[in-house]
Each structure stands twice: as structure tokens, then as C-alpha cells.
Amino acid sequence: MTSAMNSAERRSLTRRDEDYRRYWDPLRETMDPDARASLILERVQHQLHYVYETIPFYRRHYEAHGFHPDSVKSLDDFTRKVPVITKKMLVADQAEHPPFGSYLGVAPAELARIHGSSGTSGIPTMYGISRRDWERSAEVCRIALWSAGVRPDDIVQISFPFGLFLGGWGLLQACEVLGACAFPVGSLMPTDQQLTQLARMRVDALVATPSYAQHLGRRAAELGIDLSGSHLGVIIVAGEPGGSIPEIRKAMSEGLGGAAVVDLGAGASSEMHPFYANVGCRHAEGGVHLVQDENYTEVVGRDDPNVPIPVGESGAVVATHLWRESQPMIRFWLGDEGHLDDSPCACGRTFPRLPRGVYGRLDDMLLIRGANVYPSAIDAIIRETPGTGREYRIRVTRSGELDEMRVEVERAADAPPDRDEQLRHDLAERLRAGVMVRTPVDVVAPDTFDVQMFKARRVIDERLS
């Protein structure tokens, strides 16, 4: 029972954490990396044979590439020999073999859950999760929540939408198996009420997207709600990149009373869910541990996914389900970029990490006059520039052969318009230094733009139309 503690005392639980077991599964979380590598190789070989022999989608794909599972004798073979699969291939296969594609792997009667992508543009991609997979994923989700600092006494407010979208469901079942109290308010509850309930129900942990956590913080400031005396000890973010970017982490923490921020979302996608195997901890300042013996994550060449990229260097992220039987992803091209770090973390876990999470979706990456520009990098720069408001848009156009990128940013609600010229100059300077592309800035009035809460889409790329 922690209900008599305020957030300052609550946050001092970093000390009291020692009273709890530090790890949910010490054997697994602190395993010698070489021993883990052997286990991973064994599972990789198992999965390759399973999908080759059982799943038509993979059989066709591998045969078309002249690949046979027997040729994988090492993890290096795995990287160099196994062709990746992409979202585009999955979508095409589902169109041809509705509703689950030819990669379901189990009989429909064995499914525990059906979910899907938001499908805003057309038919959603459908996700079928077998009972064994659903139960197994609860275990790794529990490791994730435990690593984030959630304990059985805690109340966890989950502000993810509950419906077709898979993101919130895995974390909900993690609460259940961990024994924490779930308060699954979903996305139907208005923001002001979410804030009221956060304080009123003495919520210990908030689960939200980075966008929505920032939105809650800004709204709290507008309403004069100070959560620094509340129970809220940790903000757990997932569903979008951004949770490992220092500026965004700072904005979320400051907006919500100084709570710790733990990223569970970096490098995940609905195809890999509900296996939350990218796990932040309270000791790392951002970044995620990769539970490599659950989902094996590789960093590979942006242009050639069969080329391994050394630890410390940036590349494309590819992920593999080592245990999943239903719709298993084997070398799935996530479309994210990141780099690995295998140095020890203060928490003692021996998993490698993505120390900055993922920088952004490669799919969302903008190519501006030949330079790679990540909207998430622009987001971070805007957030740390004084005088900027809640929303902004990135507008990309083409004049002749030349790409033009502009940023339109709202001024802060409490900033006087006569500082606009200064803000315009400041932000343009920071953008030039940060993203290496000259980016003119327009300052507009507060509330010019709709607030983006989920899957923040703030880029208007007019070159595409």
C-alpha cells in the first residue's frame, strides 16, 4: 500500500526498489550474452524451419530467394542469408489471401485475439494472435512493466485507445499478470477528465503515447493543475517514436509533475506486438533494452538488409519473433533507424540497447535536397526552443528541381506577438544546425492547428500530390 505517499516520496522508490526484486526474471535478464546468443541461434533455427515447413508465405518467399533454413549455422548466417519481409509484402499477401494472409501459421480456431492496424486508408492489416502466443506475450510484457518500475500495489492509467489498435492491450494484460491495478480509461475519456482522474485516483503510472503525454502536460499547465504533489511516479510511453529523445522526455516529465519517463515503444510495431520486447528501465536515461531472446533485433544496412552494421553505428532495424507461432515475423523490416550499444547498463541487465531508441521511421524520413531529415529530430528542436507553442507543421514543397522545407510553428500561449521575429530567427538557426538543411520558419497564433494526439502526423509533403 502506497496510497499515503506523495510523488516525491514515491519517486524515492528508486531506493526502495531494492526492497523489491530488481528483476522480474533474473536468469533471463542478466544472462551472459554468449549463453543468450546460443539460445537465440537455437530459436532462430527452430523458427526458420517452422515457417519454411508450415507457412506458405515464407515457403514461397524463401524459395524465390533460393534460401533454405539448413544454411543458417550461425547468427551471422541469419543476418547475411535470410531475406527480410516488409509491411508491403504482408499487405499484398492479405489482399490475396484474406483476411489473415497466408502467414497465419495456426488454425483460426486457435486464435485468442484478432486486432488490426488503424486502416485509416482502406482495409486494415489484420493481426491474429494464438492462445499460446497471447499467454507467452503476457510474460514479456510483465518484464517490460516491471523494468519500468511498476509494482503490484500500483494503479496504472492506460490512455491508449482500446479497439482494433493492438498497442494498449499488451500493456493491459501485463498489468493483469503483474497484479497491478489497471485503470484502462482508453481514448474515449476527454483530456481534462484524464487529468482529473490522474490526481483523484492517485494513479502511480500513466501509459500513453509521447504525443498524448505531452498534450496532457500542456493542458495541465493551462488548467493550472500541478501534479508534482501527486502519486504519479512514472510515465510509460509507447506507440510512437520519441520516448527516447531527451527534449521530449523532459517535456513529458516537466508537464506531469516531474515523473520519470520510461520508453517501451522504441522500435516496436503492431506486427511485433503484443510482444513488448523493447524495454526501457528507470536507470537508463532513455533508450530501450532489447529482450533479444524474445524478439531478436538486428541493425543492418539501410540499402542491404543482409549486411550487418557494427555496434555503435547507425542502420535500419530488423526484428524476429523467436517464439511466436501465429503470424511470426522473421526478419521484419521495421522501417526504423537506430544503433546498438552493448555496454553495461546501470540496472545490470545484460541486454544490448537502442540507446536513443529509434530516430524515426525510415518510411517517414524526408529526403530534402539529398539530406535525410527525420521529423522526430525537428520535433525535438522545436520543443527545446523557448517561446514555441503547442503545435506545428512541417511543409515540404518543390519549386523547380529544388525541395523547400518550411516550419510553421504556433507561438506559446503566454508569448507576446512582438517576439515573433526573434523566435523565427532562433528556431531557424537551431534547425539549420540540427538537421543540416536551411528551414525558414513562420510563427502563427496559438491554436492555429488541430492538436495531434496519436501517431502524430505533422508533415505536409506537397511534393507527393
Q: Which residues bind a second copy (CB under 8 A)?
A: 1-3, 98-99, 107-109, 111-115, 119, 126, 131, 152-153, 155, 161-164, 169, 176, 179, 181-189, 193, 200-202
Q: Considering the complex, state which of residue 99 and residue 446 has its C-beta at the smaller distance from a second copy.
A: 99
The minimum distance between CB 133 and a second copy, in angstroms, equals 12
The minimum distance between CB 347 and a second copy, in angstroms, equals 25
Q: Considering the complex, state which of residue 64 and residue 107 has its C-beta at the smaller distance from a second copy.
A: 107
Q: Considering the complex, state which of residue 126 and residue 220 has its C-beta at the smaller distance from a second copy.
A: 126
**End-to-end Cα separation, the chain, in angstroms:** 57
Q: Considering the complex, state which of residue 126 and residue 260 has its C-beta at the smaller distance from a second copy.
A: 126
The minimum distance between CB 108 and a second copy, in angstroms, equals 5
Q: Considering the complex, state which of residue 205 and residue 441 has its C-beta at the smaller distance from a second copy.
A: 205
The minimum distance between CB 92 and a second copy, in angstroms, equals 17
Residues 6+ apart with CB under 8 A from 337: 302, 314, 315, 316, 317, 358, 359, 360, 362, 365, 374
Q: Side chain identity at 437, as an amino acid letter?
A: V
- The DSSP element (H or E) to which 443 belongs, if any, is strand 441-444
Task: Region of 258 please: left (phi>0), alpha (psi -120 to 50) or beta.
Answer: left
What's the CA gap between 263 and 270, in Å, rounded?
16
Residues β-bridged to residue 441: 407
The minimum distance between CB 180 and a second copy, in angstroms, equals 9
What's the CA gap between 327 and 134, in Å, rounded?
12
Q: Considering the complex, state which of residue 187 and residue 297 has its C-beta at the smaller distance from a second copy.
A: 187
Q: Other CB atoms closer than 10 Å to residue 399's CB: what's the count?
A: 7
Residues 6+ apart with CB under 8 A from 97: none
The minimum distance between CB 326 and a second copy, in angstroms, equals 11
What's the CA gap between 108 and 95, in Å, rounded?
17
